[in-house]
Structure 1
């Protein structure tokens, strides 16, 4: 039991956009995100700890971006060149948090 990772508590994440993203947050194995799950988990923790969307501007590698067009109202941060975490920031919380292949 001592080696088990403690499940993180939800603070600023209000909802997940898919069960696979939620699995990564709670340390469950994900076939789809296996190659990026460590970095993705770290980025999800950053979102969960944020008190304002501007908190995610640091580190610069996040590349926090307000999305445009049909995705207006959403934000994204980068996991790597291919994968992003997209979410809606509303009332101090991240909603519909989802790991996506942005290309």
Structure 2
């Protein structure tokens, strides 16, 4: 049996999001609940086979962004924070946790 593990997240837009992904720790995301929720959403992105996979669960509220974030997509962590990323050829690039409202 051969198991192939493909990582969908290819790059991060900021070091804080990468730190959370690699270590589970973050200086910017203050509460344990926010860190856990953000990690869960990052795992969803990393496990997605297609962009459409991120429409589930509906609470993700997958969006195509406009304006200065044109070309990016986002999913919600909570009412305040989002994970923004660029989706190209089945991979996520420039992944970042942000409060862009």
List gaps (5 residues or longer) in structure 1.
Answer: 1-8
Question: Does residue 101 of structure 2 align to residue 97 of structure 1?
Answer: no
Provide the residue aligned with 1:13 in structure 2: 9
Cα deviation for residue 48 of structure 1 reads 0.3
Cα gap change, 1:10 to 1:100, in 2 (>3 Å) = farther
Distance in 2, matches of 1:47 and 1:77, equals 9
TM, length-normalised to structure 1: 0.86
**Runs of at least 4 residues off by over 2 Å:** none
Provide the residue aligned with 2:42 in structure 1: 44
Q: Give SS of 1:87's match.
A: strand
CA RMSD across the alignment: 1.4
- Alignment: residue pair count: 95
Distance in 2, matches of 1:80 and 1:92, equals 25
Cα deviation for residue 27 of structure 1 reads 3.0
List gaps (5 residues or longer) in structure 2.
Answer: none
Q: Give SS of 2:40's match.
A: helix
